[in-house]
Structure 1
Amino acid sequence: MSARPATPAGASSPRPAGKAAQSYRPDIDGLRALAVAAVVVFHAFPDALAGGFVGVDIFFAISGYLISQHIIETLDQNRFSLIDFYSRRIKRIYPALIIVLIASLAAGLVLMASGELARLARDALASVAFVANIYFYTTQDYFTQGASASALLHLWSLGVEEQYYIVWPVALLLLWKFTSRRVATLLILAAILLSLASSVYLSATHASAAFYLPVTRFWELLFGSTLAWVEFLAAHRRVAGQQPGAAHAALRNLAALAGLVLIAASLVLFDPKTVFPGWRAALPAGGATLVIAAGAQAWLNRRVLSLRPFVYIGLISYPLYLWHWPILVFVRLLSSGAPTTAMLLMAVVGALALSAMTFNFIEAPARFSTPARRYPLRVASALFAVMMGIGLSSYAISRDNGLPDRFPDASYGAHQEHWTFTDACKQAFPGSDFCIQPAPGRRNVVALLGDSHANHYYEGLQSALAGVDAHAGVLAVGSGNCPPFYGVDIHLGGYVKHCAALFDGVLDYVAKSNDIHTVILSSYAISSITGGFDYDAGGYIKLVATSAAADGQAAPPSRATANLDVYLAGLERTLGKLTAAGKSVVFVLDTPELDFDPNTCVRRPVQISVRSPCAVPRAKVEQRLEATQMRIRAVLAKFPAVKVFNPLPLLCDASNCYARQGAEFFYADRDHLSSDGSRYIGKWLLRDVEARNGT
């Protein structure tokens, strides 16, 4: 979501020479209220307003308009200063953000386990640097279950906005000084088209990049900026006597109505599974732009959006956006992931109260008090220094693995594995998400291939192997969601992940290697086959055989083939080539999935509820896996030399599959093992590796 701009509430419209600036527009604050209400309802009650996330796009258009008004006005008066501009931005953005960051980190220190706190600290550090959107692009999908535990995830939008305000003022200054108004207009329109085109393209090919990256979002802010530019040109022409007066009232009313209809349509028609942003973001961003363009005198703007309750919510919309999400995350955390409706309503009310106090006692004084007006650079410098202190503190917490000694269960998640790679390995196998070669002096003896469900075995397997042979090592290569098979790609939502481009080369390398004697194949098979994560209904993932599969005889990607059929064909093809190359193969069946987040089993100093037992019924796990594993085992039976490793009996008893036993947490999330779990399973996995090689 976009923050309110660095001007007094509802910045004035640009004024042509000789004309007084237009007055404050309460209807824009009313539009802000609509935007923030949509986001808050979506986050608190997603089923009630599945498209509420488009409130962010409304704010982008509003912010682009108001900030550009200020820049254009000061350029026209020959008093624009980049130092003054960024000083205003700091005074506008930092005060409320500082308070929320400090409060979130303080709550995390008291209530979060180390893995959670370390992630919060990394999120805070990225937010301080205003690169949260880029950081979350590499670590989080905004709409996944895991994202809901990130208390600062919503600050991705501040990153987009501040990156825009690094580029846009300089670009507008250059356009103003060195081009004609006509050329400037054409260049602005070209920028919108290029940014929109990148958004449409990446939304279809790489949805997470399209959601987070600035280049795919700038066009939404440019909608508002372009409106401010067009209004300036129109006002200038009117002063010069080149154009008649204001547009007809009926046209303004129609524009306001059309804009609100577009916004309402996006709220109703979109949901988290919608390919977004792409062209669809034009509905909320374009709708907001139309409402603003209609002017303060349009009937809907004057009679509805300018109502005092809407205006007040608009005034506190920035702190409300900052406060509501961390509060909801902590409420869910303390209620074991199952807050009641009453808890969520109280969280929203609490966010409103904190937002009002933040606006009245922190934000407004930092911007409008006498010291803030008299010494703007000093105030901005002091705020900047405080923010840097938060950044350093966040770095220290992250570096110390989230301070795991704060309370007995605080060590949960302290050493969870993350995507990692060595440079040489990454260069050898481009396209991999994790790629680790043995340290110098060790030889490759085992290849661990797959997706994140291979990566979570690496720590335990490498540790166990080092205890047996100090000179042996593991080559681990993989990519998220990719089965480690020849000729299989995967469609994730609206984009294609070219898994075969990675694994065709990796498997050929492994097959020809003289050092690697054992290949371990592991992936999140049940997810790839059913098309969903963690008992989800599915429909998100589609496996596709590449044109090079099955010795070049497979159907093209457009062929409608069931996921299971593609998976089994890829498995059989891969096992055939590896066994023909004389490799010992260990195939790993699925890790049991949890139907809850294991962090709900952490005993915290303050806790509304804690899950006990920390387990999922074994019958539920087996029901989920039974049908697909029967088909998988039928293919494996064709290769009697292949060892089948099943982690389920190691994590389950007759009744339950456990995320926690005693002080040890085996799971990092619903389907990935923790470091403890990896070390526990890794010892058993190594026994099968040794058994395949007669050691």
Structure 2
Amino acid sequence: MKFRKDINGLRAIAVIAVVLFHFNNTLIPGGFAGVDVFFVISGYLMTAIIFKGVEEQNFSILKFYMARANRIIPALALLCSVLTVFGWFYLTPYDYSVLGEHIRSSITFVSNIVYWKESGYFDTASHYKWLLHTWSLSSEWQFYLIYPVLIVLMRKFMEVKTIKQTILCFLVISFIASIILTYHSPHSSYFLLPARIWEMLVGGVAFLYPISLKLRYKKRCECIGFALIIGSYFLITKDNYWPGYLALFPVIGTYLIIQAKRKNSLLTGNWLFQKLGLYSYSIYLWHWPLVVAIYYFSLPSFYIYIAIPLSVLLGFLSYRYIERINFNNNLSTIFGVIKSKPMVMVVSVTLITSVICLQDGFINYAPAKYQYLIHNAQASQLREKCHLRTYQAPSSSCQYFIENNITWATLGDSHSTEIAYTLAKKIHLKDQGLKHFSYSGCKISYKMPKDFSRCAQWYNEAITYILNDKKIQNVVINHRFTKGLFGGDAAHYPNKPNALMTTKASQMVQSFDELVQLLAANKKNVYLFYPIPELPKDIKELIGIKFRNGNMPDNIIGTSREWYQARNQYMIEHFDNASYPSNVHLLKPQNTFCDNLHCYAVKDGEPLYFDDDHPSIIGATKLIESISI
């Protein structure tokens, strides 16, 4: 294709935003929208390549795949190889094992699925994932795999004009689906291709339906597009649902600039943007590991002013000495494809990282105490099976160990999962069973409408099920109350809620009290947990810090008791002053996980969590000791 300076400049506009956002999200609050700009550009270029080949009847799907592989894989394989060597010397065994898994998922282009299953893009834990940014490469690669095949198949049965119209219709359908998915499952919509494909198709439509504009209208079109992109960078934040309809701003902005076709624009054609555009892919690859390094090694914030230019330098070197290599691959036979340089790189990196994963990051070479803590900072083995992320009828909820004599139920969010499992093991000894009701991120939603929360329908149906099942006589309730009421992760000191937040919290807690009273009137016992103490970092990170310092104590402090009280003041005071019936039992995790001064991640040589806020099996076992069977 003929080189377009305006599109190259757009790449610079995108990568600048992404890099600045990742190093300091207060600089450009919506800088993550730069990825959406990349998606539109990719859709435009891929559509141009495919349709020109199809119309000239010389398009080869295999050659298309190999061209994409030659463009993407070498630079990515270099980064993965460098991180593999770096991790051997500087990461803890656990972190090295996780890195191996993430490298393997990145080089095989499924990392978006892996990260979707792990946590959200903006979660605190994301800053310890060295290849988190490769989710976008995986989404693009999945698009590359599907898109040309569909077009070639359609061409066998349709005229080109009909194919264009079909793509336009699918764009509209996929955009509507993206909006729906964004509001029902934000993690899924951020990482997975179905919510992103419309952005790439907008780029495709820009090629399929070009607009001819006069010079003065070209300038206006470009300026509007530029304003939409820059506006999205500063007016949208990570607190907005994304992509959803808000992604129209950077997407349409990119579409307009592509349609303007201004070859020598000052906005996109200046020398700096042209250079950054050329290096943009490699800059994108190298900048994120530098971001993670600052967090991982707790470096002072001024290091970002070293890391940003270093990202550009590494991007230039990768572009100059890796991206520009012309790999001459023999594609005439299957054996030739297998022997191609990109395939060799993928297989080599995959095999090496598979060994790292199989050896658990070579944890056997670590001190015995470290091995014990890591191996026991574990979640329930039934967590993935029994803990819900999307709606499922409460009647289908997990029943542990005993099928018939179900006398117990647990209700809440993800913090109740390990409690359910350990409690079920305990009551199993007395031939009693338990039914487990938990929904990820579920806040108090009793008597609330369906659109109040993502779990409101499920929550009320679960309560109805528990009330109607007369065999269930004991109910244990546990929520991450403070986050559900006011938001905010444990890594951020609790801010004082404003009047509106306090009013909503009061309404939610009032409905919760009604629920407790209702359950108490119909069941033998109701057990309520005060908020479980949270950690500033994943427990494995806290263990890793001690490991790197050559010190593995029996107690590792998570936070201060004062911090716990301040973070959860609202619910602590409420429970302290609540007037519940005598069969409602209040349980205090802070008395188990904390002393008068500190709350612990590791106490008396035992890991109490498996991440930064969920109790481990060991921690949950300690929590249920106060429940009478």
Q: Measure, in 1, the Cα distance between the counterparts of 2:458 and 2:329.
A: 60
Give deviations 1:249-285, integer Å, cap 9, x for gaps.
2222222222211111111111111222122212212
The one of 528, 531, 543 equivalent to 2:487 is 531
Q: Measure, in 1, the Cα distance between the counterparts of 2:372 and 2:380.
A: 17
The one of 591, 609, 617 equivalent to 2:532 is 591
**1:316 positional shift:** 1.9
**1:460 positional shift:** 4.7
**1:378 positional shift:** 4.1
Residue pair 2:15, 2:283 contacting (<8 A) in 1 also: yes
When residues 451 and 370 of structure 1 are mapped into structure 2, their CA distance, relative to the original with a 3 A threshold, is closer
When residues 526 and 422 of structure 1 are mapped into structure 2, their CA distance, relative to the original with a 3 A threshold, is closer
- Contiguous gaps of at least 5 residues in structure 2: none
Q: Measure, in 2, the Cα distance between the counterparts of 1:609 and 1:77.
A: 67
Residue pair 2:20, 2:27 contacting (<8 A) in 1 also: yes
Equivalent AA in structure 2 for residue 87 of structure 1: M
Q: Where does residue 656 of structure 1 map in the other structure?
A: 598
Q: Measure, in 2, the Cα distance between the counterparts of 1:351 and 1:681.
A: 43
For 1:201-240, list aligned pairs within 5 A.
201-231=180-210
Q: Measure, in 2, the Cα distance between the counterparts of 1:152 and 1:536.
A: 30
Q: Measure, in 2, the Cα distance between the counterparts of 1:124 and 1:511.
A: 49
Q: Measure, in 1, the Cα distance between the counterparts of 2:480 and 2:437.
A: 15
**1:79 positional shift:** 0.8
The one of 244, 247, 250 equivalent to 1:278 is 244
Q: Measure, in 2, the Cα distance between the counterparts of 1:80 and 1:520.
A: 62
Corresponding position: 1:454 with 2:416: yes
Q: Measure, in 2, the Cα distance between the counterparts of 1:413 and 1:487.
A: 41
Q: Where does residue 689 of structure 1 map in the other structure?
A: 627
The one of 439, 449, 471 equivalent to 1:479 is 439
When residues 120 and 218 of structure 1 are mapped into structure 2, their CA distance, relative to the original with a 3 A threshold, is same
**1:61 positional shift:** 1.1
The one of 270, 275, 283 equivalent to 1:307 is 270
Corresponding position: 1:519 with 2:475: yes
The one of 586, 599, 615 equivalent to 2:558 is 615
When residues 86 and 480 of structure 1 are mapped into structure 2, their CA distance, relative to the original with a 3 A threshold, is same
**1:333 positional shift:** 0.8
Q: Where does residue 568 of structure 1 map in the other structure?
A: 510
**1:31 positional shift:** 1.6
Equivalent AA in structure 2 for residue 104 of structure 1: L
Q: Where does residue 551 of structure 1 map in the other structure?
A: none
Superposition CA RMSD, Å? 3.7
For 1:179-258, list aligned pairs within 5 A.
179-231=158-210, 247-258=213-224
Corresponding position: 1:348 with 2:296: no
When residues 465 and 582 of structure 1 are mapped into structure 2, their CA distance, relative to the original with a 3 A threshold, is closer
Equivalent AA in structure 2 for residue 221 of structure 1: M
Q: Where does residue 260 of structure 2 map in the other structure?
A: 294
Q: Measure, in 2, the Cα distance between the counterparts of 1:340 and 1:425.
A: 38
Equivalent AA in structure 2 for residue 329 of structure 1: V
Q: Where does residue 323 of structure 2 map in the other structure?
A: 363
When residues 75 and 433 of structure 1 are mapped into structure 2, their CA distance, relative to the original with a 3 A threshold, is farther
Q: Where does residue 263 of structure 1 map in the other structure?
A: 229
**1:523 positional shift:** 1.2
Corresponding position: 1:624 with 2:587: no
The one of 113, 116, 122 equivalent to 1:143 is 122
**Segment of structure 1 superposing worse, 181-190 or 103-112:** 103-112
Equivalent AA in structure 2 for residue 285 of structure 1: V
**1:132 positional shift:** 2.6
When residues 373 and 420 of structure 1 are mapped into structure 2, their CA distance, relative to the original with a 3 A threshold, is same
**Segment of structure 1 superposing worse, 377-386 or 195-204:** 377-386
Residue pair 2:394, 2:462 contacting (<8 A) in 1 also: no
**1:228 positional shift:** 1.7
Q: Where does residue 453 of structure 2 map in the other structure?
A: 496
**1:600 positional shift:** 4.3
Identity of aligned residues (%): 24
The TM-score normalised by the length of structure 1 is: 0.79
For 1:548-563, list aligned pairs within 5 A.
562-563=504-505
The one of 77, 91, 98 equivalent to 2:77 is 98
**1:375 positional shift:** 9.9
Equivalent AA in structure 2 for residue 195 of structure 1: S
Give deviations 1:492-523, integer Å, cap 9, x for gaps.
xxx83134424533663476353x55322111
- How many positions carry a matched residue from both structures? 619
**1:92 positional shift:** 1.6
**1:472 positional shift:** 5.3
Give deviations 1:82-128, integer Å, cap 9, x for gaps.
11111112212211222222333444444444554444344334334
**1:199 positional shift:** 2.0
**1:37 positional shift:** 1.2
When residues 93 and 263 of structure 1 are mapped into structure 2, their CA distance, relative to the original with a 3 A threshold, is same
**1:40 positional shift:** 0.7
Q: Where does residue 554 of structure 1 map in the other structure?
A: none
**1:162 positional shift:** 1.6
Q: Where does residue 124 of structure 1 map in the other structure?
A: 103
Equivalent AA in structure 2 for residue 526 of structure 1: T
**1:464 positional shift:** 5.5
Q: Measure, in 1, the Cα distance between the counterparts of 2:600 and 2:395.
A: 28
Residue pair 2:387, 2:439 contacting (<8 A) in 1 also: no
When residues 485 and 198 of structure 1 are mapped into structure 2, their CA distance, relative to the original with a 3 A threshold, is closer
Equivalent AA in structure 1 for residue 399 of structure 2: Q
Give deviations 1:156-213, integer Å, cap 9, x for gaps.
2122212222222123224444333432332222111111112223333332233223
**1:485 positional shift:** 7.2
When residues 641 and 684 of structure 1 are mapped into structure 2, their CA distance, relative to the original with a 3 A threshold, is same
Q: Measure, in 1, the Cα distance between the counterparts of 2:15 and 2:552.
A: 32
Q: Measure, in 2, the Cα distance between the counterparts of 1:317 and 1:218.
A: 22
**Segment of structure 1 superposing worse, 620-629 or 646-655:** 620-629
Residue pair 2:182, 2:242 contacting (<8 A) in 1 also: yes
Residue pair 1:120, 1:150 contacting (<8 A) in 2 also: yes
Equivalent AA in structure 1 for residue 249 of structure 2: L
The TM-score normalised by the length of structure 2 is: 0.87
The one of 279, 286, 290 equivalent to 1:327 is 290
Residue pair 2:87, 2:96 contacting (<8 A) in 1 also: yes
**1:410 positional shift:** 6.2
Q: Measure, in 2, the Cα distance between the counterparts of 1:388 and 1:465.
A: 49
**1:590 positional shift:** 0.8
- 1:562 counterpart SS class: helix
**1:456 positional shift:** 3.7
Q: Measure, in 2, the Cα distance between the counterparts of 1:401 and 1:499.
A: 39
Q: Measure, in 2, the Cα distance between the counterparts of 1:403 and 1:472.
A: 41
Equivalent AA in structure 2 for residue 219 of structure 1: W
